A and B are shown apart, each in its own frame.
Chain A
């Protein structure tokens, strides 16, 4: 049996989904699009699955999310829709309910956050609301898990007996809207039955001038004209245009339901508190300093304190384990090649990627707190203006900012960007934000070529990345992402204390997600690089790293880097190894040049033909393909190999062009 969970954004849908399934869910994408599809089995009910549909406000087919929801319900025919609404904002939430009712599918209403309504002196007459809407209603608190088992019982009951909503007709009986809807319903009844589409839904969509439905129903010109005639009548009688008239009818009904069934809460404590906090967090002069302060604190704690400490701990643990296994293998007398595969390939490769894990978990810990408290929405509110010129919205700001720390969580964090178009575009821009793993490379190069000017060089590099990111955004906006703009409408939720459970669940989800990739894609990539590094073309293990296949590949592609000023094969080889993790560029360079990494900066100036070539190398490192962990995240979030490959190629191309320009234009001046 299939249940579909539908509701507005930010009404507690995910919390309810987690409560229903106990987080034993499968995350995928809806066929053909990258909108996330979560499916899980209801806890304690084998064979009953629930699908978490995207959060939407209406069933108009304008955004990817709305189309997905609508198609899912119409085509997959779930046995029951669980419509979750935010009881603290009942009017706006019921607007979607009214449209779902028209789909003629068994449905149950879950009134979430009832605990908050009650705590502030409000009540909702559940029986009345259920009678007025003609579907069962259950008060719940998804976060606390209250009422969830009752909700399951009601939903299962409704689905088993296939109890359809009692009514779909909500217009006042003598209103222009009523006349129009019923006239249209009569006109298209036979068509709708033939196509198996719910009649009332068809009529509403035809009034909203949805040409998709008109085509699906195969209406002829005559019928379309008749409908148009009804609509003109509606507009002249109601004094509103067709879209507004229909919405007005729905909201009028909602108002009447609310008037008889809901005692509004006093201005809630949460709300008063939010207004007070917002005076500072979104205040004219305080908002941006506070935001910068918060983000700096998050970064400092993640990369310098908590995350870094955990990372050291994990690295020490992995190091110990490697040592133990290494000694055990030696005493066992295992074949040297296999030994090298296990220690140099698997342990070192996967270990270096695994050391990202503490950073990711710590960063997501803070991010989920920012998100759950409601501060993330404020950041979007405050930072919307500067991002708009790039064709994005304020929601993209935080993921891009995280890109300065690490691309992996940044790409994962784009999940908070609600529009599919904005989400993809944000991901494309993340690689331009120089990640922290590149800092060791910059540090060695500045020590070698610009001693004492570290800050200037760093600033110039970060700035270059941002500027190119902006240019890329403008380019994407004008080409690949021209798409229909969706107006930026967003709610600022009340500030709430995050629940430890939901923070914990998110951390677990992100960590598991990353680990799965670490042991699949990343594992394979590290083994391949190890293989290339340790063998020559005759598959003999090499003792001198300059004879390995990797060195040969480096040599082969070093031609590409000639115009950039660093045609030496050692640099191209180092860049290839940087694909595993950017820090590896430094260690590989040290190995190939034949010195210790700690004294690399003294040798580098003699290895590079000129300072300008070193600049060109730095610019290339700044921009070229993200590491394998990041690429795996791209693959997961884009849900497309081709797009991911496109991103990798695009980044390399941009890096090459930028480095070429730096080398050749710089050459004119020096």
Chain B
């Protein structure tokens, strides 16, 4: 599914970030990277844009950009606490993208 289809209050893990060029890179710079967990916080009164919680901050994006982001829903996982990774150790992979 894509981020566009997520319901308010649901959390999901990013699987892939689609799109092209500067649009895609901007999303990546804002921290939307595969394996990151996010929560859909709210939807604007006219149905678009949406607001997500990611990496401890709230980000607004448009549905057309959200449609490029593939996610899978996760249970009991909130984005606030990033996984504790020791610097210098190889990171565990949760399957390829």
Q: Are both chains from one complex?
A: yes
A residues with CB within 8 A of B: 57-58, 60, 62, 89-92, 95, 132, 172-175, 208, 239-240, 243-244, 247-248, 251-253, 255-260, 264, 278, 282-285, 287-288, 381-382, 384-386, 388, 394, 484-492
Partner of B29, one of A57, A90, A484: A57
A121 smallest CB distance to B (angstroms): 14
**Once bound together, how far apart are the Cα atoms of A252 and B93, in whole Å?**
13
In this complex, the interface size class of chain B, counting residues with CB under 8 Å from chain A, is 35 or more
The yes or no answer to B58 lying at the interface (CB within 8 A) is yes
Contact A251 B56 (CB under 8 A): no
B7 smallest CB distance to A (angstroms): 14
Partner of A384, one of B36, B44, B97: B44
Residues of B within 8 A of A381 (CB): 44, 49, 51, 60
Contact B60 A91 (CB under 8 A): no
Considering only CB atoms, which chain B residue lies closest to A255 in the complex? B82
The yes or no answer to B1 lying at the interface (CB within 8 A) is no
Residues of A within 8 A of B47 (CB): 385
Residues of B within 8 A of A278 (CB): 42
Name B1-29 residues within 8 Å CB distance of A. 17, 21-29
Contacts A91-B31, A239-B93, A252-B91; is A384 near B42 (CB within 8 Å)? no
Residues of B within 8 A of A92 (CB): 30-31, 55-57
B residues with CB within 8 A of A: 17, 21-31, 33-36, 42-49, 51, 55-62, 65, 80-91, 93, 96-97
**Once bound together, how far apart are the Cα atoms of A286 and B80, in whole Å?**
29
**Once bound together, how far apart are the Cα atoms of A244 and B48, in whole Å?**
26
Contact A255 B85 (CB under 8 A): yes
Partner of A240, one of B59, B80, B97: B97
Contact B33 A385 (CB under 8 A): no
Contact A492 B58 (CB under 8 A): yes
**Once bound together, how far apart are the Cα atoms of A643 and B30, in whole Å?**
34
**Once bound together, how far apart are the Cα atoms of A258 and B82, in whole Å?**
9
Contact B62 A384 (CB under 8 A): yes
Residues of B within 8 A of A259 (CB): 82, 84-85
Instruction: Give 4 closest A-B pairs by Cβ, nearest first.
Output: A256-B87, A58-B29, A239-B96, A62-B22
Residues of B within 8 A of A248 (CB): 33-35
Residues of A within 8 A of B61 (CB): 487-489
Residues of B within 8 A of A258 (CB): 82
Considering only CB atoms, which chain B residue lies closest to A93 in the complex? B57
Partner of A62, one of B25, B93, B96: B25
Residues of B within 8 A of A257 (CB): 87
Known pairs A60-B25, A385-B44 / 19 extra A-B pairs, C-beta < 8 Å: A57-B29, A58-B26, A89-B57, A91-B57, A95-B29, A172-B89, A172-B90, A208-B25, A247-B29, A255-B82, A256-B87, A264-B80, A278-B42, A287-B45, A385-B49, A386-B46, A486-B22, A492-B58, A492-B60
Residues of B within 8 A of A132 (CB): 87
Contact B84 A487 (CB under 8 A): no
Contact A174 B44 (CB under 8 A): no
**Once bound together, how far apart are the Cα atoms of A284 and B17, in whole Å?**
29
Residues of B within 8 A of A490 (CB): 59-60
Partner of A244, one of B17, B42, B91: B17
**Once bound together, how far apart are the Cα atoms of A314 and B56, in whole Å?**
49
Residues of B within 8 A of A208 (CB): 25
A435 smallest CB distance to B (angstroms): 28
Most buried by A among B31, B44, B46, B61: B44
Most buried by B among A57, A89, A240: A240
Partner of A173, one of B48, B84, B86, B88: B88
Contact B62 A487 (CB under 8 A): yes
Contact A247 B33 (CB under 8 A): yes
Residues of B within 8 A of A260 (CB): 87
**Once bound together, how far apart are the Cα atoms of A496 and B57, in whole Å?**
16
Contact B27 A487 (CB under 8 A): yes
Most buried by A among B34, B51, B81, B87: B87
Contact B30 A489 (CB under 8 A): yes
Residues of A within 8 A of B45 (CB): 282-285, 287-288, 382
**Once bound together, how far apart are the Cα atoms of A95 and B97, in whole Å?**
23
Considering only CB atoms, which chain A residue lies closest to B90 in the complex? A174
**Once bound together, how far apart are the Cα atoms of A248 and B91, in whole Å?**
11
Contact B46 A382 (CB under 8 A): yes
Residues of A within 8 A of B90 (CB): 172, 174-175
Partner of A489, one of B26, B82, B86: B26
B8 smallest CB distance to A (angstroms): 10
What are 25 residue pairs bridging A and B, where the CB atoms are less than 8 Å apart in the complex? Answer: A60-B25, A90-B56, A91-B55, A172-B91, A239-B96, A239-B97, A240-B34, A243-B24, A244-B28, A256-B86, A264-B80, A264-B81, A278-B42, A282-B44, A282-B45, A381-B44, A385-B46, A386-B46, A388-B62, A484-B22, A488-B60, A489-B26, A489-B27, A489-B65, A492-B58
Considering only CB atoms, which chain A residue lies closest to B86 in the complex? A256
Contact A382 B44 (CB under 8 A): yes
A89 smallest CB distance to B (angstroms): 4
B40 smallest CB distance to A (angstroms): 14
**Once bound together, how far apart are the Cα atoms of A485 and B24, in whole Å?**
11
**Once bound together, how far apart are the Cα atoms of A508 and B72, in whole Å?**
51
Contact A385 B48 (CB under 8 A): yes
Residues of B within 8 A of A58 (CB): 25-26, 29
B97 smallest CB distance to A (angstroms): 5
Contacts A240-B97, A385-B48, A386-B46; is A486 near B60 (CB within 8 Å)? no
Contact B42 A95 (CB under 8 A): no
Considering only CB atoms, which chain A residue lies closest to B55 in the complex? A91
B91 smallest CB distance to A (angstroms): 6
**Once bound together, how far apart are the Cα atoms of A486 and B24, in whole Å?**
10
Contacts A172-B87, A244-B33, A288-B45; is A487 near B26 (CB within 8 Å)? yes
